[in-house]
Amino acid sequence: MLAAIVLNIDPILLQLGPLAIRWYGLMYVVGIIVGVQAALPYARSLGITDDQVWSVLGPCIVAGLVGGRLYYVVQQPLGPFIAQPWRIIATWEGGMAFYGAIGAVFLTLWYMCRREKIPFWRMLDAAAIFAAVGQAFGRIGNIINGDILGAPTSLPWGVIYVNGNSFAPSHSIAYQPAAAYELICDLILIAVLFTLRHRLKTSGLLATIYFIGYALTQFLVFFLRDSEPVVGFGLKQAQLTSIVVFLIALAIGTYRLRSGETPVEHVPAPATSSMSEST
């Protein structure tokens, strides 16, 4: 190995007695805050008020965290979780499956928008901005954790996790930085969404592009991720899920294009105005 990147960041940012504050958790908090700030101006341009955003945000965050964790757990050998049920919520050990978060948030958002009489497809487009931006910060947490890795490598950008608290199997071997690859994909997807957000005139299409883009990047990146087993057709679980999400996204996009919806006028709305459009 000619060269490698040596990373010696302790995943534990601060230890307060038995309480450990981790970079991973901090990045989730930062991601939520920055994601909301990135999505709010776009939501306003769709006629969605700040009050409407806040009314759905809390339930969707909870649903995303629960869905992401549970979907991760069900993909793992269940023996350790049955023997120690408390480990189901032990996110500090690593383990969030974003597809679980996407599914849980989609259903929760649909229910909340229906209950609050908020236009679902427009809110879903704003949620796509929130998700893409917030997810990028989560990937930074993954990079620090060392919990998303590729195979051992001699590439000059391979990463050696020398800190003993990292999740890397070995602290002397360089691994392909799969989390960094995912971060790069996230940034490209963010650039695409921000470029198209005011050009698409049918609501739901921006979210469709997010779903398709995320499915494609996950399908490709998981060829490099070394910790997940092959489950069928020579593919890993996330790749099979990516195919399903890709097909569902195509169906959603086709449905929205055929909806005959009046083109969305991207005009900022007053932060306290009401919206009575049905879903």
* Per-residue pLDDT tens digits for 211-257: 999 999 999 999 988 777 788 888 988 899 999 999 999 999 999 99
- What are the structure tokens assigned to 112, written together? 């909340």
* In contact, 94 and 147? CB cutoff 8 Å: yes
Predicted pLDDT at 76? 74
Determine the angle formed by the axes of helices 50-74 and 98-116, rounding to 10 degrees: 150
Locus of tokens 């023996």: 79
Domain contains 17: no
Q: Is the entire prediction scored with pTM above 0.75?
A: yes
Closest CA to 72 of 98, 92, 93: 98
Domain that holds residue 115: 5-9+22-257
Tens of pLDDT, residue by residue over 132-145, are 999 999 999 999 99
Written as one string, the DSSP assignment of the chain is ----EEE---SEEEEETTEEEEHHHHHHHHHHHHHHHHHHHHHHHTT--HHHHHHHHHHHHHHHHHHHHHHHHHTS-SHHHHH-GGGGG-GGG----HHHHHHHHHHHHHHHHHHHT--HHHHHHHHHHHHHHHHHHHHHHHHHHT-S-B-B--STT-EEE-STTS--S-SSSEE--HHHHHHHHHHHHHHHHHHHTTT--STTHHHHHHHHHHHHHHHHHTTTB-SSPEEETTEEHHHHHHHHHHHHHHHHHHHHHTS-PPPPP-----TT-------
Tens of pLDDT, residue by residue over 219-228, are 999 998 877 7
Domain contains 234: yes
Domain contains 50: yes
Domain contains 14: no
Predicted pLDDT at 19? 81
Domain contains 120: yes
Domain contains 262: no
Domain contains 233: yes
Q: How many domains does the chain fold into?
A: 1
